[in-house]
Chains A and B, each alone.
Chain A
Amino acid sequence: MAITSYEILDTTSDVTTTRTLLHESIPLTGTIISGTYGVFPSEENIKNYTHGQFQSVYDYPYLSSSANHIFDLAVGFDESSNMSKSAGAGPTGSGQQAKKINMYNQFSQVLLGYTGSNNTVRMFELDLSLDESGSIAKEAVFVNLSRLISKDQIKKGSFSITVGYGTWSAPFGAKRVLTDASASDNGGTTNTFGGDYGVLFDTSSNPRGLVFYEAGIVMLSTNSFANDSGLTPQFYAHPTYGNLNIIGTFLTSSISGACDAVRHRIENIAFNNTTEINSTIYFCRVPHNKYNHSANPTYLSASTIRVKNVNTDSPIAYITTIGLYSASNDLLAVAKVSEPLRKDPTNEMTLRVRLDY
């Protein structure tokens, strides 16, 4: 039946808007990334594509409808990298050198943009300045976190990734934790085309990578996987060429092959995501002298109000639902309380209905 009893909302005093940042803790363990759903490198939760430009990691065998996309992995290098000067030592085409350059350029142009009169793409620098000096990561691993888990952005100062740089057979025999602990909402970041980014430092404050918070992309330089004396010689046990360091891996392996090697060395990723919730709060003020009667058919027995014995008894009604209406009586939103609220002339209540967008 049509509702005929409405209470007008005063837009100045009964309606307000708020913005809330909701954070969730996201732990990604390395066992899901490598080894849980099959034998490395052919796990069922790892999806490779015929184009070979990146690799997708799921939290469950990806052919299942229950699988959720967690992140993508890609590798690339700048065309000024020494690697690009090599034709690749592997079988013809397996090096995918051009594609690796394309991948680096794509990340760079989206996250950093172009520079100079020639509009060349910037290179990733392991600091907060974009002056093309200092430590430049010409070769990089990219971890693209799915929107499903990164939501609106990664919370600044919450990101950490543990990578191993031990031998291939014992990758976590030597490992380091990279964090963006110096970043916060108040500083420690730089804003670029791709949004804010912070630097990933190891525990000795050596810069090893970048994290782009809004984009949900992590860039790891090859030195993330280097040991104290240089590149880890057994970064990847290539099925054809044997043990390779990370440069050799990048040179001789396809992108997906290099991604396999990287997956093998990610022990843990953890961060807090951020969801920005914009809310409108409607304060539904129920006055003491109204809404004490009901049109519910059970409210009457032989036209007599059931909750009364005599007319001087207080009327009682029970609220279970709040309907929010437009000026033309369209029901736009419905709110339910978890248990009936007793309403009688002795009480007045404000029901706070929040709609999130």
Chain B
Amino acid sequence: MAFLDNSGDIILDAVLTETGRRKMANGNFSITKFALGDDEIDYSLYNKNHPSGSAYYDLQILQTPIFEAFTQVNAGINYGLLSTTATDLLYLPIMKTNELTGLDVGNIASFNGMFYVVDTAGNTGTSATTAIGQGLSAQATPIKSMAGTTSTTNFVLMETGLDTGFGNIPVGTSANRSSYLVANNLVDSTFYVFYDSRFISGIVGLSDTSTFNNSETDNQFGGSVSLTEGTSTSLSLGLDNYSSYRVKGIADEIIWDSSSNTEATYSVIGGPRGSVCGVAPIVKTGLDAEYTLYGTVNSGIMSTGGPALVDYIDTTIYVQGTLSSAQIQIPVRIIRISTS
């Protein structure tokens, strides 16, 4: 796609998307609402220290060339402007994966940037060479993985909050959580999870009864986590083959305390925290040809122990807070023992 001519008057270039054209052909084309996007903008170009003054702060942003409109749905608006009416916000929450080992609640860490989920369909036994999960654990650097079923106890843990840095203002006190997040309606009680339905059939998340705090003696971790399958939704990400689930978010009550500060031990958010959520994909039953079509087969990536050859598919799970719009992409590797 070319850039739009920005040398003269402001013009508006509008196209129907492929979905719009299909709906028009089906006779059910009806536009009822709009949203605004700014995908081309790099806000880091906003120069608050420009020597020529405030009129020049956004000069580079305003000169950003804009692409012509795409007809592909997923190339429309990927992030979007927020309808929040508050004007006094200085901070907005972000989302990060919590891979800290001190929690011991089943949260796993990524290995070489990938979160592993096992497809146990190819398991022929329970040893490291015959069961993929055992094989991952037997690596020189043991790889924690998710079970790929509804009964998984391992998951990817995510936190939202104002990550201004440990020790920086605003610190992660309960009062700051209330004033910066709760009062501005930026605490997510649910999260949308988008996944490739060719490989994943559902998402397991945290249950309502889960807790996440450091309220034990000496501010030790006092939370407890249990998992349950989320709820399927019709929300569209705009990517082909992607489906969505909604999972619970629970209050992130890890707080800063001057007497015995353990927040960095249990949390990756350096500031007031909003919510935590967990995500564990359920591997689609019967995956086989997909490994050849979309993944890698007969790979020898297991360095020590474990099965000699494995098959894997790399995919991405997208998680988004329903209120804060904080979002994160989780790279996932679905892995099994090679069948050939």
Which A positions have Cβ atoms within 8 angstroms of B?
1-9, 11, 15, 280, 282, 284, 286, 289-343, 345, 351-355
**B: number of interface residues (CB 8 Å):** 85
Are A296 and B163 within 8 A (Cβ)?
no
- Which residues of the partner chain A approach B5 to less than 8 Å between Cβ atoms? 338
Give the CA-CA distance A182 to B15 in the complex, in Å: 40
Chain A contacts for B13, CB-based, 8 A: 335-336, 338
How near does chain B come to A334, taking the closest CB pair, in angstroms? 4
Beta-carbon contacts of B52-96 to A below 8 Å, as 1s and 0s?
Answer: 000001100111101111110100111111111101111111100
Decide if B240 is an interface residue (CB 8 Å cutoff): no
Query: B130-149 toward A: CB 8 Å interface, digit per residue (1/0)?
Result: 00000000000000000000
Q: Check if B124 is an interface residue, CB within 8 A of chain A.
A: no
Asked if B58 and A316 sit within 8 Å, CB to CB, the answer is yes
> Do B40 and A290 have beta carbons less than 8 Å apart?
no
Contact status A338-B11, CB under 8 Å: yes
CB distance from A222 to the nearest CB of B (A): 48
Interface centre among A286, A340, A341, A345 (most CB of B within 10 A): A340
Closest chain A residue to B94 by CB distance?
Answer: A303
Q: 20 interchain pairs (CB within 8 A)?
A: A1-B194, A3-B37, A9-B34, A290-B84, A298-B43, A300-B92, A303-B271, A304-B90, A304-B164, A315-B87, A321-B36, A322-B36, A323-B77, A325-B33, A326-B32, A334-B14, A334-B15, A340-B64, A354-B12, A355-B16
Shortest Cβ distance from A134 into chain B, in angstroms? 48
Q: Contact between B69 and A336 (Cβ–Cβ < 8 Å)?
A: yes
Closest residue on chain B to residue A4 by CB atoms: B325
Q: Contact: B12 with A352, CB < 8 Å?
A: yes
5 A-B pairs closest in CB distance: A321-B37, A332-B20, A5-B83, A335-B14, A311-B90
CB-CB < 8 A to A310: which residues of B? 90
**A295–B325 contact, CB under 8 A?**
yes
**Number of inter-chain CB pairs below 8 Å:** 292
Stretch at the interface among B114-122, B229-237, B248-256, B290-298: B229-237
- Given contacts A332-B17, A332-B31, could you give 10 more A-B pairs where the C-beta distance is less than 8 Å? A2-B237, A2-B238, A5-B83, A298-B43, A304-B90, A304-B164, A321-B77, A324-B34, A330-B236, A340-B61
A345 to B85, CA, bound (A): 9
What sequence of 0s and 1s flags, for each residue 1-42 of chain B, a beta carbon within 8 Å of any chain A beta carbon?
000111001111111110110010000011111111111111
From A11, A289, A325, A339, B35 is in contact (CB under 8 Å) with: A325
Q: Which residues of A contact B71 (CB under 8 A)?
A: 334
A355 and B62 contact, Cβ closer than 8 Å, known pairs A290-B84, A306-B43, A330-B23: no
Q: A295 and B44 in contact (CB under 8 A), knowing A326-B31, A327-B33, A337-B66? A: no
Min C-beta distance of B93 to chain A, whole Å: 7
Q: Is the CB of B42 within 8 A of A305?
A: no
In angstroms, Cα B94 to Cα A300, docked, is 8
Q: Are B89 and A315 in contact (CB under 8 A)?
A: yes
**B81 touching A309 by the CB < 8 A rule?**
no
Q: Once the chains are docked, how many angstroms separate the CA of A340 from the CA of B32?
A: 24
- Distance A7 CA – B192 CA, assembled complex (angstroms): 20
Query: Of the candidates A11, A291, A334, which one forms a contact with B83 in the assembled complex, judged by CB atoms under 8 Å apart?
Result: A291
Which A residues lie within 8 Å of B234 (CB)? 328
In this complex, the member of B70, B76, B81 whose beta carbon has the largest number of chain A beta carbons within 10 angstroms is B81
Shortest B24–chain A CB gap in Å is: 8
- Cβ–Cβ contact B81 & A337, under 8 A: no
**Which residue of B19, B23, B77, B163 has the most chain A CB atoms within 10 A of its CB atom?**
B77
The residues of A that contact B73 with a CB separation of less than 8 Å are 330-331
B87 touches A289 (CB 8 A): yes
Q: For the complex, what is the distance from the CA of A355 to the CA of B35, rounded to whole Å?
A: 16
**Which of A305, A320, A332 contacts B41, CB < 8 Å?**
A320
A315 vs B46: C-alpha distance in the bound complex, in angstroms?
12
Closest residue of A by beta carbon distance from B63: A339
Report the bound CA distance from A192 to B45 in whole Å: 65
B303 smallest CB distance to A (angstroms): 34
Q: Is the CB of B33 within 8 A of A9?
A: yes
Task: Judge whether B87 and A2 touch: CB under 8 Å.
Answer: no
Do A336 and B4 touch across chains, with their CB atoms under 8 A apart?
Answer: yes
Closest Cβ of chain B to A229, distance in Å, is 59
**Contact between B20 and A338, CB atoms less than 8 A apart:** no
Residues on B with C-beta less than 8 A from A297 are 79
Supposing A331-B76, A337-B10, A340-B64 touch, asked if A325 and B31 sit within 8 A by C-beta, the answer is yes
Indicate which residue in B17, B23, B30, B237 contacts A1 across the interface (CB closer than 8 Å): B237
**In the bound complex, what is the Cα–Cα distance between A89 and B269 (angstroms)?**
99
**Please, which residues of chain B bring their CB within 8 A of the CB of A354?**
12, 14
Task: Kindly identify which residue among A309, A329, A340, A353 contacts B14, using a CB–CB cutoff of 8 Å.
Answer: A353
